[in-house]
A and B are shown apart, each in its own frame.
Chain A
């Protein structure tokens, strides 16, 4: 996924508003709120979140503060094309310090959820989900040798070694949005 460095040189708010109204069913801000960032509108763009955001620090374009602003304006297309939310380390330091309890982290993740719903993500981003479904582990390596080396049984006592539990997990996943979206093949 390409990181989109930049915003159009001039933001045409009328066009943004028109697109938002005419081309989408819902406003971006409404969607983001629905996807979990309930306090989105309270943001006053103070920038505290950006001051400690690792993404802002290493130079991502749409870090928390700017992402929120773009959402508030109603920009959608530009945001769907960008990968910044997927770089969020979920460190949640922003949540800790946000004076308006907006939880910028939640906005980032709501944006991810929106992108997922719009299928505006690369297949790599859904690898974790596939792995979760298949093995019960997002990070799954065979790694058996290492376990043996340190004196542990080859398989940990997780879904990895417990078929019934894996089926339970799959049942759960099948009842979530993940299944609705059809992002990954589920039997």
Chain B
């Protein structure tokens, strides 16, 4: 028997039938009664219910118990509830331990009732064994830095930043592109209201850029993140723009000067057109500044930054065309520029990750042919929008080069006839890469709606167009969405339940589409001028890297994983880091905005008090036992351990605001001088021994 006065209360939950249906509660209760130091054993239908908690509180108040073991469901969801109950009744809440006899026992062994009962006994015995060794702990507080970093300047990032900035928090918005705006800036209209994307987005871009509490750091990426909630130390690398942004006015003179040889596919137009090596991301860019793409630049003056210009025979320097064109000298190549850009260090209390998504390239889908007239939906978006490569004129994509030539002539005041072909038939194909085990098993969620939107916009503008849409099934959940679908049907757009399995090029660049109509149960064929693939929304390529830097999780599908699908949808496993928008999973604009605002408010409510309660389940060094070998120092993932002088000797010491309680140090310490509170060596070993001995608790 232990010397201390330990009175353990064991509370067994039936969880309705969930536990009682497989575990013989009476037998388990009888067993528990005979465990050492157990003073009270009770069972109840729902231990977590109010009356259930009251049973525990009553026993504590009456002094019957001073350690609580609840045998119920998983501590991952219910430990906090019961801890609070203990606290309410006046017991240190760390005198609580849980045995998981539902999720890990009754449910898993539903058809082996006897064995489930046996296992439940052992699990309870292990919990009791641990409970005997529990120690009272006090919550601690950490000071919080009230700045927030928002990673990603798309619609989600913008809203998160604005909400926080308006609430008085300083926000650093880090965007990897030269301009904020994200994918939404590429869209023509937005469902379900069909309002112009630019019209609703650009004012917000300006607002966030001009907000006194927001600091934009565009063309920049997160390099490293250290520290933890309340005290993140972030290094952001601002990429080299090769243009002096202080001087650049965004006039665009340089863009036209950039020679044709230096043209590369324009990312903003999804590769439908070309841009120069020096470019402004798009006309409405914020900040509207030019950057030079060093990979695309052909150094046409034979000069790079910091190099002496070559000179003409009469000694005049030969300048690069962009340099020459720039009215403010922002493009000057006189000074050398560090290709690595600039490293900016930020101290923030919280981080919101809203890095968005990318759409799958059509290249991987060989079955839909390599024709330029098979395009992704995002390309279609660029094709129909007035800011797109064709100024919204609908022509087949294979004729865009013709269009651009024609436009050049017209701009130069020449007369010319545009010979581009206008499509008569457009086919939409859904679930390209989504709901497909070869690519992504998830549904990309917005494709049905944006396909309907594009079809609707097209049909309204060009009623003579024949539009065919192939869906595995149409998913238009929620308010206003099915009504939108209805509108589309009423426009006479032909909708098929069934997937397109093949698109074959015809000699005249038109496309033979092979689909299936589940309604008639027949294969169908048609000739289409354009085929639009609703390619899947997928995580950005570098999302995993970013997640690793941030120490947050990525799901099997590659998106950032939220702490809990239902209850903590914008939280991550790392406290203080929140997620919003498509980085978390495919979603539409309203959902992204809602999530962004949720993330902002989560960050705000976390930081507003200025300090935060932290569970004391962290490690502590016993300096008497510590031999100062320092293994722990290097192993600590949070740099929380340092060597300090103690009685003239070097000993390790843990910084409790940095420690997250992983226990790596405790495990590594050869003399076990480090204790991880809540999971001490003695506690874990007591559990292990008890289970190893099949429920027999060994006296120590």
Chain A contacts to B: CB under 8 angstroms:
7-14, 17, 27, 29, 41-45, 65-66, 69-70, 72-74, 100
- Taking A11-B522, A14-B527, A73-B517 as given, write out 17 further A-B residue pairs in contact, using a Cβ cutoff of 8 Å, ordered by the A residue number: A9-B523, A10-B522, A11-B525, A13-B524, A14-B526, A41-B489, A41-B490, A42-B486, A42-B489, A42-B490, A43-B489, A44-B474, A44-B486, A66-B519, A69-B517, A72-B495, A73-B494
- When C-beta atoms are compared, the residue in chain A nearest to B515 turns out to be A13
> Chain B 522-547, CB within 8 Å of chain A: the 1/0 string?
11111100000000000000000000
Can you list 20 A-B pairs with a CB-CB distance of less than 8 A?
A7-B520, A7-B521, A9-B522, A9-B523, A11-B520, A11-B522, A11-B525, A12-B524, A12-B525, A14-B425, A14-B525, A17-B466, A27-B492, A41-B492, A44-B489, A45-B497, A66-B520, A69-B517, A73-B517, A74-B494
Query: Which residue from A13, A43, A72 sits with its C-beta under 8 Å from B525?
Result: A13
- The complex places the Cα of A177 from the Cα of B276 at a distance, in Å, of 68
Query: Is B232 on the interface with A (CB-CB < 8 A)?
Result: no
> Chain B 127-170, CB within 8 Å of chain A: the 1/0 string?
00000000000000000000000000000000000000000000
Minimal beta-carbon separation of B328 from chain A (angstroms)? 56
The answer to whether B492 and A11 have CB atoms under 8 Å apart is no
The answer to whether B519 and A10 have CB atoms under 8 Å apart is no
The answer to whether B519 and A69 have CB atoms under 8 Å apart is yes
> Chain B 571-584, CB within 8 Å of chain A: the 1/0 string?
00000000000000
Query: Is B468 on the interface with A (CB-CB < 8 A)?
Result: yes
- The complex places the Cα of A27 from the Cα of B485 at a distance, in Å, of 21
Pairs A-B, 8 closest by C-beta atoms: A13-B526, A69-B519, A11-B524, A14-B527, A41-B490, A14-B526, A45-B519, A10-B523
The answer to whether B524 and A10 have CB atoms under 8 Å apart is yes
- When C-beta atoms are compared, the residue in chain B nearest to A17 turns out to be B466
The answer to whether A7 and B522 have CB atoms under 8 Å apart is yes
The answer to whether A70 and B520 have CB atoms under 8 Å apart is yes
- When C-beta atoms are compared, the residue in chain A nearest to B497 turns out to be A45
Chain B contacts to A: CB under 8 angstroms:
425, 466, 468, 474, 485-486, 489-492, 494-495, 497, 517, 519-527
Minimal beta-carbon separation of B537 from chain A (angstroms)? 24
Minimal beta-carbon separation of A15 from chain B (angstroms)? 9
The answer to whether A100 and B466 have CB atoms under 8 Å apart is no
Q: Which residues of B contact A17 (CB under 8 A)?
A: 425, 466, 526
Minimal beta-carbon separation of A21 from chain B (angstroms)? 9
Minimal beta-carbon separation of B495 from chain A (angstroms)? 8
- The complex places the Cα of A19 from the Cα of B524 at a distance, in Å, of 16
The answer to whether B526 and A12 have CB atoms under 8 Å apart is yes
The answer to whether A8 and B522 have CB atoms under 8 Å apart is yes
The answer to whether B494 and A72 have CB atoms under 8 Å apart is yes
Q: Which residues of A contact B466 (CB under 8 A)?
A: 17
- The complex places the Cα of A66 from the Cα of B518 at a distance, in Å, of 10
Q: Which residues of A contact B527 (CB under 8 A)?
A: 14
- Do A13 and B519 form a contact, CB below 8 Å, given A41-B492, A42-B489, A73-B494? no
Q: Which residues of A contact B525 (CB under 8 A)?
A: 10-14
Q: Which residues of B contact A12 (CB under 8 A)?
A: 524-526
Q: Which residues of B contact A45 (CB under 8 A)?
A: 495, 497, 519
- When C-beta atoms are compared, the residue in chain B nearest to A6 turns out to be B522
Q: Which residues of B contact A8 (CB under 8 A)?
A: 522
Minimal beta-carbon separation of B270 from chain A (angstroms)? 28
- When C-beta atoms are compared, the residue in chain B nearest to A72 turns out to be B494
- When C-beta atoms are compared, the residue in chain A nearest to B510 turns out to be A14
Q: Which residues of B contact A44 (CB under 8 A)?
A: 474, 485-486, 489, 495
The answer to whether A13 and B486 have CB atoms under 8 Å apart is no
Q: Which residues of A contact B491 (CB under 8 A)?
A: 41
Query: Which residue from A29, A42, A65, A100 sits with its C-beta under 8 Å from B519?
Result: A65
- The complex places the Cα of A44 from the Cα of B494 at a distance, in Å, of 10
Query: Which residue from B425, B486, B517, B524 sits with its C-beta under 8 Å from A100?
Result: B486
Q: Which residues of B contact A7 (CB under 8 A)?
A: 520-522
- The complex places the Cα of A11 from the Cα of B513 at a distance, in Å, of 12
- The complex places the Cα of A135 from the Cα of B238 at a distance, in Å, of 93
Q: Which residues of A contact B497 (CB under 8 A)?
A: 45
Q: Which residues of A contact B522 (CB under 8 A)?
A: 7-11
- The complex places the Cα of A42 from the Cα of B490 at a distance, in Å, of 6
- The complex places the Cα of A103 from the Cα of B251 at a distance, in Å, of 60
Query: Which residue from A11, A14, A42, A72 sits with its C-beta under 8 Å from B523?
Result: A11
- The complex places the Cα of A69 from the Cα of B525 at a distance, in Å, of 16
Minimal beta-carbon separation of A53 from chain B (angstroms)? 14
Q: Which of B486, B520, B521 has the most CB of A within 10 A?
A: B520
Minimal beta-carbon separation of A64 from chain B (angstroms)? 11
Minimal beta-carbon separation of B490 from chain A (angstroms)? 5
Minimal beta-carbon separation of A171 from chain B (angstroms)? 39
Minimal beta-carbon separation of B262 from chain A (angstroms)? 43
Q: Which residues of B contact A72 (CB under 8 A)?
A: 494-495
- The complex places the Cα of A27 from the Cα of B486 at a distance, in Å, of 20
Minimal beta-carbon separation of A151 from chain B (angstroms)? 55
Q: Which residues of A contact B517 (CB under 8 A)?
A: 11, 69, 73
- When C-beta atoms are compared, the residue in chain B nearest to A70 turns out to be B520
Q: Which residues of B contact A73 (CB under 8 A)?
A: 494, 517
- The complex places the Cα of A11 from the Cα of B496 at a distance, in Å, of 12
Minimal beta-carbon separation of B497 from chain A (angstroms)? 6
Q: Which residues of B contact A66 (CB under 8 A)?
A: 519-520
Minimal beta-carbon separation of B324 from chain A (angstroms)? 54
Q: Which residues of A contact B526 (CB under 8 A)?
A: 12-14, 17
- The complex places the Cα of A2 from the Cα of B535 at a distance, in Å, of 46
- The complex places the Cα of A43 from the Cα of B495 at a distance, in Å, of 10
- The complex places the Cα of A14 from the Cα of B527 at a distance, in Å, of 6
- The complex places the Cα of A69 from the Cα of B524 at a distance, in Å, of 13
Minimal beta-carbon separation of B453 from chain A (angstroms)? 17
Q: Which residues of B contact A13 (CB under 8 A)?
A: 468, 494, 524-526
Minimal beta-carbon separation of B601 from chain A (angstroms)? 38
- The complex places the Cα of A122 from the Cα of B526 at a distance, in Å, of 33
Minimal beta-carbon separation of A146 from chain B (angstroms)? 47
- The complex places the Cα of A27 from the Cα of B524 at a distance, in Å, of 19
Minimal beta-carbon separation of A34 from chain B (angstroms)? 14
Minimal beta-carbon separation of A7 from chain B (angstroms)? 5
- The complex places the Cα of A131 from the Cα of B674 at a distance, in Å, of 103
- The complex places the Cα of A43 from the Cα of B486 at a distance, in Å, of 8
Minimal beta-carbon separation of A65 from chain B (angstroms)? 7
- The complex places the Cα of A100 from the Cα of B487 at a distance, in Å, of 12
- The complex places the Cα of A171 from the Cα of B417 at a distance, in Å, of 63
Minimal beta-carbon separation of B509 from chain A (angstroms)? 16
Q: Which residues of A contact B489 (CB under 8 A)?
A: 41-44
- The complex places the Cα of A14 from the Cα of B524 at a distance, in Å, of 9
- The complex places the Cα of A45 from the Cα of B524 at a distance, in Å, of 17
The answer to whether B520 and A69 have CB atoms under 8 Å apart is yes
- When C-beta atoms are compared, the residue in chain B nearest to A69 turns out to be B519
Minimal beta-carbon separation of A26 from chain B (angstroms)? 12
- The complex places the Cα of A100 from the Cα of B497 at a distance, in Å, of 17
Q: Which residues of B contact A69 (CB under 8 A)?
A: 517, 519-520
The answer to whether A29 and B486 have CB atoms under 8 Å apart is no
- When C-beta atoms are compared, the residue in chain B nearest to A68 turns out to be B519
Q: Which residues of A contact B490 (CB under 8 A)?
A: 41-42
Minimal beta-carbon separation of B528 from chain A (angstroms)? 8
- When C-beta atoms are compared, the residue in chain A nearest to B476 turns out to be A44
Q: Which residues of A contact B495 (CB under 8 A)?
A: 44-45, 72
Minimal beta-carbon separation of A50 from chain B (angstroms)? 10
Minimal beta-carbon separation of A12 from chain B (angstroms)? 5
Q: Which residues of B contact A11 (CB under 8 A)?
A: 517, 520, 522-525
- When C-beta atoms are compared, the residue in chain B nearest to A39 turns out to be B490
Q: Which residues of A contact B425 (CB under 8 A)?
A: 14, 17
- When C-beta atoms are compared, the residue in chain B nearest to A11 turns out to be B524
- The complex places the Cα of A8 from the Cα of B517 at a distance, in Å, of 12
- Do A29 and B492 form a contact, CB below 8 Å, given A45-B497, A100-B486? yes
Q: Which residues of A contact B474 (CB under 8 A)?
A: 44
Minimal beta-carbon separation of B517 from chain A (angstroms)? 7
Q: Which residues of A contact B494 (CB under 8 A)?
A: 13, 72-74
